[in-house]
Structure 1
Amino acid sequence: MKPAVEWRQPLCSADNEAFAADLHAALARVPKAISPKYFYDEAGSRLFEQICELPEYYPTRTERALIEAHAADMAEQFGPGVQLVEYGAGALRKVRLLLDAIPRDGVQFVPVDISGPHLLAACDALAADYPGLSIQPLVADFTRPHTLPPCPEGSRRVGFFPGSSIGNFTPTEADAFLRLAASELAGGGLLIGIDLVKDEATLHAAYNDAAGVTAAFNLNLLHRARRELGADFPPDGFEHLAFYNPAYRRIEMHLRATRALELRVGGEAYAFHEGETLHTEHSHKYTVAGFQALAARAGFSPGKVWTDANGWFAVLWLEARPGE
């Protein structure tokens, strides 16, 4: 009998060479900014899982409650026979709610994530709990060209992108990802979670938790640079900064220099003046209508929408138009 976890690909896009090149570029530009994908080494992935359990961090529990309540309705949109592709798969918790609503013999699951050890450990746990489920993990940066396994005959490809992770993309990056997804999901669809526009106090608390876990998550990016690239900087040289920028409808996360200092990487020295930041992440907030319009321009047709009673979060079904 074939093992459930049967298809693995070596990590090729988040290696030290790529991290070093992107970090040098980030530190050389004005203003300094780097992709949030470098948060997610093994330590960063663990910290993010802790963030998801924090009382202040509403997105995870709100989205989970939505999927739990409407899983059967969501799964009905997929149709019989599905290759379910989860982008940025992480710990594979929310997808279990969907898998429980789909006939086990009618699904192949393809989780895609940049953090190889974290993904493969999650797949092993999933395989133990779902014996017989075909799981084909792909270690890759899903925003860059990647090759999915062939879609089984008689199935259609459906994407799952929970966690409001689309909010981490700039509008240009979100458009590029949606176009890529519309192309590889052609004839299928995408189930996606988005964080909605809301009061600033709720947003501020979610990214500045009292326990300091989000701060540790943010600072881990520099600690990763020290571990993997030999980066040198004062231990107390940077602090976590997160705030809502209403002009862009987004939370911004930065690492702010506590004083004038140098950050050295690979023989290069980059000066920071006191208060200068390295922009590490943004999290855009959407309206349902605004996001549906963005998706429509990328090749999707709007479908069902599920929202919570507070109007804080939404899960959208988008039909991917058939390829030409």
Structure 2
Amino acid sequence: MNASNTAQPRFSLSHRLPPGHLADALRADALKGLTSVPKTLPPKWFYDARGSELFERITELPEYYPTRAEQRLLQRCAGEVAQLAPHTATLVELGSGSSRKTRLLLDALLAHGALARYAPLDVSPDALAEAGQALCRDYPSLEVSAVVTDYEADLTPPGSGPYLVAFLGGTLGNLDVAERRAFCASLRRLLTPGRDALLLGVDLVKDPDVLVRAYDDSRGVTAEFNKNVLHVLNRELGADFDPDAFDHRARWNAERSRVEMWLRSRVAQRVVLTDPPLRAEFERGEGMRTEISVKFSREGLTGELAAAGFEVRQWWQGDGFGLLLADPF
């Protein structure tokens, strides 16, 4: 019998979200957000196929520094990360997307340690399948166990430990204080002291002008990305948003140390949704917040992690971006 027919597949894709989970979550978020003051929508709804393509364009803009800064930092520090976590058997990545930056970690961990499995967790099965199969081709010794899930569902790592959990891209900043506290606490419960570790990438506080330009580029790509959430609501919930009736705004909230993205209604208008049945009234000039991006300090983030049961073992930073390795205790 041909050996290729008996070999176990090195790529697997499992679904932990129940049928209809994302559709139900979108309806719930729209109902809650469009009836709150101020109106809000979570940023995860930017990312349909069009939104993901727009975000990839954003990462290439001269104003948007975070992706390049983290890439350079990982290039510099990946080897040290691997040396500090040499027994890692499974690299878990939360919100993995295309897994491009992950290759730096995979190269280092495979060269310096005992890595056997990469476990990306994301809401997009298509992104997981495309990235996972490419990684299997490029890393013949690696198993890829992909999981379709989200932060509010089951984050239990697949495979066996020791685990290194990577949460990159500054995504932690999309959560407010209470959400970060709950997320870090749930993550801590999954990890074993003395065995597992957390690798976290965060954007740091810097000149507000630099921050605002990163979220309001001169070419208008971020504005188009921001308005994409309205296209998602129109398509998925039968809404009648006119994206041209809203302006994109980005502002620095110094009190909460975060950039906020808003959609501001250019006119007084009523928007109707069919599922869930809802009428949302917008006054002229009224804003709807669509994203927060918290910017951290080393001291503040170290304190937050300690409160959740993590001790920062190593800190790296460069170009205004931070990367840290933390141990559960």
TM bucket normalised to smaller? over 0.9
Partner of 1:237: 245
Partner of 1:160: 166
How far apart in 1 are the matches of 2:140 and 2:287?
48
User: Does the aligned pair in 2 maintain the 1:4–1:133 contact within 8 Å?
Assistant: yes
User: Does the aligned pair in 2 maintain the 1:11–1:116 contact within 8 Å?
Assistant: no
User: Does the aligned pair in 2 maintain the 1:42–1:118 contact within 8 Å?
Assistant: no
Partner of 1:113: 122
Cα RMSD of the aligned pairs, angstroms, is 1.6
Question: Which TM-score applies when normalising by structure 1?
Answer: 0.93
How far apart in 2 are the matches of 1:315 and 1:171?
19
One-letter amino acid of the counterpart of residue 272, structure 1: F
1:141 to 2:144 alignment: no
How far apart in 2 are the matches of 1:280 and 1:194?
20
Corresponding residue to 1:247 among 255, 276, 291: 255
Give unpaired runs (5+ residues) of structure 1.
Answer: none
User: Does the aligned pair in 1 maintain the 2:198–2:327 contact within 8 Å?
Assistant: yes
Deviation string 1:8-67 (CA, Å, 9 cap, x unpaired) is 216447522221121011101111112212122222222212211211111111111011
How far apart in 1 are the matches of 2:46 and 2:124?
10
Corresponding residue to 2:110 among 103, 106, 112: 103
- How many percent identity over aligned positions? 39
Mapping of residues 12-23 of structure 1, within 5 Å: 12=18, 14-23=21-30
How far apart in 2 are the matches of 1:50 and 1:125?
21
Moved more, 215-224 or 261-270: 261-270
User: Does the aligned pair in 2 maintain the 1:19–1:38 contact within 8 Å?
Assistant: yes
Partner of 2:84: 77
Partner of 1:281: 291
User: Does the aligned pair in 1 maintain the 2:117–2:144 contact within 8 Å?
Assistant: yes
- Provide the secondary structure at the position in 2 that maps to 1:101: helix
1:262 to 2:270 alignment: yes
1:126 to 2:143 alignment: no
How far apart in 2 are the matches of 1:115 and 1:256?
29
- Provide the secondary structure at the position in 2 that maps to 1:278: strand
Moved more, 283-292 or 80-89: 80-89
Aligned residue pairs: how many? 316
User: Does the aligned pair in 1 maintain the 2:16–2:148 contact within 8 Å?
Assistant: yes
Give unpaired runs (5+ residues) of structure 2.
Answer: 1-6
Partner of 1:290: 300
How far apart in 2 are the matches of 1:261 and 1:34?
18
User: Does the aligned pair in 1 maintain the 2:204–2:295 contact within 8 Å?
Assistant: yes
How far apart in 2 are the matches of 1:81 and 1:251?
35
Partner of 2:40: 33
Mapping of residues 162-177 of structure 1, within 5 Å: 162-177=168-183
User: Does the aligned pair in 2 maintain the 1:114–1:142 contact within 8 Å?
Assistant: no
One-letter amino acid of the counterpart of residue 142, structure 2: L
How far apart in 1 are the matches of 2:16 and 2:181?
27
- Provide the secondary structure at the position in 2 that maps to 1:136: strand
How far apart in 1 are the matches of 2:31 and 2:278?
8
Corresponding residue to 2:12 among 6, 9, 13: 6
Question: Which TM-score applies when normalising by structure 2?
Answer: 0.91
One-letter amino acid of the counterpart of residue 135, structure 2: L
- Provide the secondary structure at the position in 1 that maps to 2:33: helix
Partner of 1:304: 314
Cα displacement (A) at 1:76: 1.5
User: Does the aligned pair in 2 maintain the 1:45–1:118 contact within 8 Å?
Assistant: no
Cα displacement (A) at 1:319: 0.6
Structure 2 vs 1, CA of residues 305 and 226 (structure 1 numbering), >3 Å: closer, same or farther? same
One-letter amino acid of the counterpart of residue 263, structure 2: L
User: Does the aligned pair in 1 maintain the 2:312–2:325 contact within 8 Å?
Assistant: yes
Cα displacement (A) at 1:79: 2.2
Moved more, 123-132 or 190-199: 123-132
User: Does the aligned pair in 1 maintain the 2:14–2:146 contact within 8 Å?
Assistant: yes
How far apart in 2 are the matches of 1:120 and 1:295?
32
